[in-house]
Structures are given as structure tokens and as C-alpha cells.
Structure 1
Amino acid sequence: MAFAAINSAAMHIPAIEEAFATAPSLKKRVYDAIGSTPQHTPLFEDLARHTSALLARTVKTTSLPLVPPPSEGPVVKKRKIQNGVAEELAQAPVNVKDDAPIQFYVQDVSFAIPQRKKLTLEVTAGYSYLRARNQTTKEVEFGVPMNRIRHALCLPVPEKTQKQFNFCIVPEFADGVTPPPEGMTAFEPMVFMIPDGPAKAAFDGSGQQVGNEAGDSGEALLRKILNQNLTTTSVVRPDERQFVSAMSEAHRKNEKAYHVKAFRGSKEGYLFLLSTGILFAFKKPLLFFSFDTIDSVSYTSVLQRTFNLNILARPNGGSGGAEGETQEFEFSMIDQADFDGIDAYIKRHGLQDASLAEARRAKKYNVNGGNKGEDGAPGAGDAGEEESELQKAQQELEDLEDEDEEDYDPGSDDGSDGSGSSSEEDSEDDDDEGVDEDDEAGSDGEEDLVKHELGSETEDVGHEKQ
């Protein structure tokens, strides 16, 4: 051991000196290990060179401005991770690959998330990135490595006169359900639009226009490029075997619709039921429920024309998480016309229906009750129909007023309590009762007077009839 220590002290390997210049104790341990096992010297040198390369990359990354000047673009946003610490979004490392060769790019692409602006969409070669470049400043605005993309979706944009496609890119830990582990940043999802038609602004790395030779549309060409570079998934499109809406496209009546309109709170969006999960888009926050994150699905507020869909989701399918970490997401005001299609989709994929769970029964309405008349029979035109919440509230108010009228007894207060005081209502009631008695007395008196005055004549008339 003494001989090894002497040799390690005399050693001087440039790669190790450079890599561990700021860590003397670690450098000494490396030299001690080499002295004990000299045959591992090439291995330690390779590790040292790799460490130096990583350090150089880190220095280059931190030397780049994370927040560009105001004239070059918007300020980088902040994100709150699970432990509440604000952290920069993981878009800056894309600049490290700024000099990477470009495999494919499309100009004038309209982005909706994470920024609303037109940018150049790029796919880099080799260790591929999908990124967006500012067309004025030529700076990379944001992006994500291809191997960090977990879901890539190509969806027709609803309610547009001209057919368009939205590409939704969902990186790891960006589905809105599974938060990133502590200390790890998550890339933001991306949503950008590609119009239907020829690829007029698509080019390869050399600047040559592509797509026209094969007759591919811009959407088909981009799907092909993405599928060539994605490592963990492939681009998913809607399939009528999974779900198709009972209503056609609003502005393109001859086309099928693959979405249903829904509200998340006060925010309007669209639900897409796909072969890999359920997406709520196209506004922030974008939510994607893959099948391994869905704990159960249920229906609430089932009314005559609309119903709500509740999804109970568990981060990453519950792996590594404690029981009770589920989140419930409610999507409201879904048209009843799509109920059968959604229910068939849920049953087809074996998603647990928790509509009749004990905790949810208080939210269920008596959809088979209907309005009833006084004899308990259904009212005209209401048989088999559900009451709306407004109708229920109105009916409860009317029932309450009826109960108050039934409980009121004007004769129960006989004034014998000796209080010596009476209300205006009592005096009015007494006056009304007095008037009734006088009227009755008056009517009896009038009958007697008529009989007295005309009695003889009525008798004569009676004799004549006989």
C-alpha cells in the first residue's frame, strides 16, 4: 500500500488533472485506484475525458443568456414544481444544439402552446430535437429532445371552415397529471397548426423544398418525419373505431367529427378519445390522460341534454405514489348525443365506471322522476324526461310555499291569551269574518222578506198550476 501511495503521488495524467482540477480529494482517490490496479488506467482516462466534456458543455450552457433581451423575444416563464420552488423551464438546453445539423424545417408555423406566434419548426439530425426558431432574431425559442416525447398527436382542428391539423407534443411529465420528480425540470408541451394541402414551406437540411415530388401534404410529410425520429412513441391520429362524434363537423357537414365540446371549469375546450388515452385541448393547461394514469371514469349531472364526465387520474398509473394521490378532473356540459359513443369507448378500454360509487351518489339526480301532478301522475309532456336544475329549484320553492299555506290556520289564534294586543292581520281577519257573517245574515233576511211580500201571490200561482 505504501508503494501504491508513492506511485500515486508521483503520477501526473493530463486528462485526470484537467477533469478533477477543482476536486483534489477525488483526484487523489482516482490516482490511488490506478496505483492499486494499473490495468484500469485507460478506463480512468476515458472517464476523465468524458467528465471534462460534460463540464465544458455545462459551462457553455450557463454562459448563454437564459432570458433574452426584450428586443429578442419574450421573457422565459417560470414554473412551480411539486415542492413549490420556482424553476426555469427546460427550454434553454435546446440552445446547446443550436449548431446541430438540420434535417427538416417548416416555415411560418402557427404555435398555440407554449407561445402564440409564428415560428420556424425544426427537426435536427443525429440526437434529434424538435424545436422552434424565431424567424426574425434566428434564436431558438423552445424545444424538446425527441427521446423525451411521450405522446405525439395529430388532430383535426374543430369548427374551422378550412381543414387544419393541430400537432400536440406531450413530453415526459407534461401531461398535466404526473408532476416531474423533485429537482427535475419538465419540457413544456407544444401545440402547432399545419394547414391541409401541399407542403409549400417544408425544406430539408440543404434548403431544398420537399414533399411535392411524392405528393404528400404538409401534415402527412411532418408525420413521416416525426415517426422517423421519435424513439418512445409514434404519431397518433383519431380513429372512428375508437370514437366518432354523433354530430358532424360544424362547418364541414360532410366530414366526421372526432371530438366533443366540453368545459373545464369556465374554460371551453375539446375532448378527443384516442387509442392511447383521452386529450383535453387546445388551450393551457393541456391535459392528456393515458390509460395507465386513469383510475376510474364516472358520469355526473346527467340531465336531459347534457352530462358531465369525471376522470379520476393517478400520477404515472400510481407507480411509486401513495394511495390517495389521485386527482379528479371534471368536464361539464357534454352533449347527450355523444353519451353512447363515450360510454362504448370507456367499456372497450376497460376503464372502471365509478358513477354509482358511494361518494358520488349525492351528486346523482333522479333522472327518472319527472314532474308529477297533485295525484302523483306524470305531468303532460314530462313523462320520461329529466328535470333541469332550474326546474328543480322552482319546484322546491313551490312545494315550500304550498306547505306554508297548508300549515296556516286563521282560526288557531282565538285572542284569549290576554296579551291585550292584536296585530293588523288579526284585525283585518276579524273584519273579514264580520263581513261574511253580515252577508250571510243579509241574504237570509232578503229571502224572508221576499217570502213575506209575495207569499200570497206564490200560493195563488201554486193553486193555478194544480
Structure 2
Amino acid sequence: MAFAAINSAGKPITAIEEAFATEPSLKKRVYDAIGATPQHTPLFEDLARYTSSLLARTAKTASLPLVPPPSEGPAAKKRKIQNGGPEVTAQAPVDIKGDAPIQFSVEDVSFAIPQRKKFTLEVTAGSRYLRARNQTTKQVEFGIPMDRIRHALCLPVPEKTQKQFNFCIIPEYADGVTPPPEGMTTFECMVFTVPDGPAKAAFNGSGQQIGNNAGETAEALIRKILNDNLTTTSVVRPDERQFVSAMPEAHRKSEKAYHVKAFRGSKEGYLFLLSSGILFAFKKPLLFFSFDTIESVSYTSVLQRTFNLNILARPSGGTEDDTQEFEFSMIDQADFDGIDTYIKRHGLQDASLAEARRAKKYNVNGGNKTEDGTVGAEGAAEEESELQKAQQELEDLEDEDEEDYDPGSDDGSDGSGSSSEEDSDEDEFHEDADPVSDGDENLVEQELGSEAEDVGDDE
């Protein structure tokens, strides 16, 4: 009542508004206390001013450059981008102004990257930051400007009994493929999880609780807020028209799965084949291959039960010397057709029969083919699936073995293929047979002559 009366009178207290701008629920409690005991209003104003001064002091201290104390030990190492990228400085600073107006916030959000902890997720107005606030210290610990976010993905969490969603927020130069320019700071990726249900503690900028509309889930609410504020992209979700696994969700058999399990070295993760690219998640670091960075895709180690997927990626604006190959192994063979269809649909080049790769395959298998002998019909190869190519290679090898066979290479052979085991058997049983005549004699006359002699002997 008192809070409503103050607002309706149009007399909010400036000091309290500034001090508790980021804490709408606390601000409401302060106004409620003032309404119940108006005589304590000066006390609350003094507390609010003191709180604002503390926040300002903290912000000023945090904005100062960090100068490490002198030490005789080795210098601190800089964080490196994975896969051999250049070194970069640490996480870029975030907007930690205590008086930044809040457009949206939701409490108790579980983060996995860059920290495994529960934070309050916030979207600021004006500056438009997506950031995480420590729920104990009330300090902003990390964040990303909305205009620096290049990919925003909302994905079902695999292999969970209860349905959940992971939001993957990928800033520019943080996809694991394209490193930042030298000397430029970058923002780290965010991965946070929300359950498949209504948001329990979501607030708008006025401190009013939202998200209780019938049928509106936390996932839908956050996705809507992000889409309203993102400037360079929108939230992408899996689509069965792009890819759906041949196997259902492990713990929810009635639901379709949009991922495939794979290994990156010894690290287990999941591949998501999306309308904007291919993601490997959810372990740190995330790898996202947008279509403009994929140079080619190929298959290796195609076995009865599993196969490997190789992605040759080139950083945006990079040269051939900057390409890197990423191998994802132990993918279930049941998902081969779906992945192959996805690759063809998006026109990703299949490099399974590239010259270097084919030469390597033959050398490993002990074959005698040289690099010049491996040239095939590239146009037809692009239309075939990997399994068809493997079958064709085996048939070609068999045909070449037959062509290389020279039956006339043995001494005393007439070049007609008479050096077989059957001929050897005939030699054993007919020791008095005439020697083989020269190859330029008429074989028909020879056979007729032999028959005539046999008839004469019988008579």
C-alpha cells in the first residue's frame, strides 16, 4: 500500500532509486519499511547514500589497471586460445556500474562457463549488457555487450532425466576457430542452464515479477528477452529439418535427440548440427564452426559401428596457412546418413578423397599406388557417400590387381593363360605330351590335328 502510494504520488526517493537500482526486490522492501514507519525515512536515505558511495568506490577501484607487485618469480602466463591461436589478454572488462538500469533479471541461474556457479542473470538497458551478478557479494563478475555476441544458441541438455536447456552465448573471436587480432581483448563464452518450466524469480526493470504467464517457460522468456536485445544475430534452436539423431534421448525415449556423442581427443562432448553451423559442446572450450569458416568436411576410420568426422576450418579472413583440422571420433554409425545428408544440404565440401588423404590411406594399407595413380573422377566422388566411395576403392584395387597380372611372364609360356594349375595337372598326367608350340601358330589347326591323330589311332 505504502509503496503504491509513493509511486502514485510521483515522489520516489532519488537516493534510494540510485542505490538499489539493481536490486528491485530490496528496493521494494525499503519502500515498504518507509511506508510502515515514515519517521525512519531520513535513516533509509542516509543508508542509501552510503551504499551508493560504496558502489562508486568499488567501481572506481575495479576500473584501475592491475599492476602486479614486483616479484622474483616468473611472470604470470597469459591465457591462450585453444588450438594454437595467438595469446590474448584476459577477459575484457564488463560494465560494473552499480547504477546501470536493469531491463530484466532472473535469479539462481546455473552457469557452467566461464564459472560453475549460480548467478543472477541480468540484461541491462541502454548499454545492453548480458551479465552475471554474484548473489552473495552483489558484484558483476562477467558479461558480454549485446553487440559483441555473434552466436546465441538454445539447446536441449542431452542425457538428463528432467528436460533442461543450455543457452550458449558466443562472442566474436571466441568460437575456437577465429582468434582475436593481436592485442585485442575478448569476451568469454557463456553457458547457463534453465529448467523446462516457468521462471520462479524473474523481474523486469521496475522490480515486478514476470514469467508467470500460463504456458510461458523460463527458456521461452529468456529467449524472447535475448532476441529483443541482440543486434547481430538471434537465438538459434535445433531443427529436425536440419538434423535429428537416429537414436532418441537416452533418458526420455519419447523425445527426439538433436545431438550426436563424439570425442575430441580424450574429451567427451556433443555435436549439434544447426542451421547456422556445427557446435561441439558443452565442455570448455566450446567450438563453433559457422559455415563461412568450414573449408571441408571428411570422414575417416569408417568402421562397422563408428566413424570419425573431420572438419577443416579456416578463420574468418584467414589464408590457407591458417587452416586447422578438428577430428571428432567414435561417432555412432547409426547417425552417418543423417550427418551426410546435412553436409550435402549445406554444400560443405567432402574432402574424404583429397589427394593427401588418399595417398596416406594407401600407404597405411600397404598398397603400391603412388600419388599420381590416385587421381579419380572428383565430380562423381562428390555425389557419392563415403561408404560408396570406400566400396568403389576396393573394386578399383581388385581391378588393378587383375590388370597387373601377366600370365606370360613365366618361361616357356605362350601368353594364352596356359600356366594355370590345370595345365600343371595335365603335365603330370601326360608326361609324353608335345611341348607347347610357338605363339604364332594357328591354335585351331593344332587342336583339329590332335583330334585327327586320336581318331587314326583308334582305327
Relative to the length of structure 1, the TM-score reads 0.61
Work out which of the two has the higher radius of gyration on C-alpha atoms and give 1 or 2.
1
Distance in 2 (CA, whole Å) between partners of 1:142 and 1:63 is: 14
**Residue 207 of structure 1: CA displacement?**
1.8
Report % sequence identity: 84
Distance in 2 (CA, whole Å) between partners of 1:148 and 1:105 is: 20
Distance in 1 (CA, whole Å) between partners of 2:138 and 2:223 is: 25
Match of 1:88 in 2: 90
Q: How does 1:69-148 map to 2 (within 5 A)?
A: 78-80=78-80, 87-90=89-92, 92-95=93-96, 97-148=97-148
Contact between 2:88 and 2:180, CA under 8 Å: does it hold in 1? Answer: no
**Residue 359 of structure 1: CA displacement?**
1.4
Q: Deviations over 1:398-439 (max 9, x none)?
A: xxxxxxxxxxxxxxxxxxxxxxxxxxxxxxxxxxxxxxxxxx
Q: How does 1:297-312 map to 2 (within 5 A)?
A: 297-312=297-312
Unmatched segments (≥5 aa) in structure 2: 1-58, 68-75, 366-386, 388-459
**Residue 89 of structure 1: CA displacement?**
1.4
Contact between 1:107 and 1:121, CA under 8 Å: does it hold in 2? Answer: yes
Distance in 1 (CA, whole Å) between partners of 2:258 and 2:77 is: 33
Contact between 1:152 and 1:236, CA under 8 Å: does it hold in 2? Answer: yes
Match of 1:236 in 2: 236
Contact between 1:300 and 1:364, CA under 8 Å: does it hold in 2? Answer: no
**Residue 85 of structure 1: CA displacement?**
5.0
Partner SS state of residue 241, structure 2: coil
Match of 1:4 in 2: none
Q: Deviations over 1:431-465 (max 9, x none)?
A: xxxxxxxxxxxxxxxxxxxxxxxxxxxxxxxxxxx
Contact between 1:301 and 1:364, CA under 8 Å: does it hold in 2? Answer: no
Compared with structure 1, are the counterparts of its residues 344 and 107 closer, same or farther at alpha carbon in structure 2 (3 Å cutoff)? same
Distance in 1 (CA, whole Å) between partners of 2:77 and 2:160 is: 30
Aligned residues: 300
Match of 2:210 in 1: 210
Distance in 2 (CA, whole Å) between partners of 1:278 and 1:286 is: 11
Distance in 1 (CA, whole Å) between partners of 2:235 and 2:128 is: 16
Q: How does 1:266-415 map to 2 (within 5 A)?
A: 266-316=266-316, 319=317, 321-362=318-359, 364=361
Compared with structure 1, are the counterparts of its residues 64 and 207 closer, same or farther at alpha carbon in structure 2 (3 Å cutoff)? farther
Partner SS state of residue 188, structure 2: coil
Distance in 2 (CA, whole Å) between partners of 1:357 and 1:83 is: 26
Contact between 1:297 and 1:355, CA under 8 Å: does it hold in 2? Answer: yes
Contact between 1:154 and 1:166, CA under 8 Å: does it hold in 2? Answer: yes
Compared with structure 1, are the counterparts of its residues 282 and 66 closer, same or farther at alpha carbon in structure 2 (3 Å cutoff)? farther
**Residue 66 of structure 1: CA displacement?**
6.0
Contact between 2:86 and 2:182, CA under 8 Å: does it hold in 1? Answer: no
Match of 1:180 in 2: 180
**Residue 358 of structure 1: CA displacement?**
1.5
Distance in 2 (CA, whole Å) between partners of 1:111 and 1:102 is: 20
Q: Deviations over 1:124-147 (max 9, x none)?
A: 011200000000000101000000
Partner SS state of residue 222, structure 1: helix
**Residue 62 of structure 1: CA displacement?**
6.2
Distance in 1 (CA, whole Å) between partners of 2:89 and 2:215 is: 45
Unmatched segments (≥5 aa) in structure 1: 1-58, 68-75, 369-383, 385-466
Contact between 1:239 and 1:275, CA under 8 Å: does it hold in 2? Answer: yes
Relative to the length of structure 2, the TM-score reads 0.62
Partner SS state of residue 324, structure 1: helix
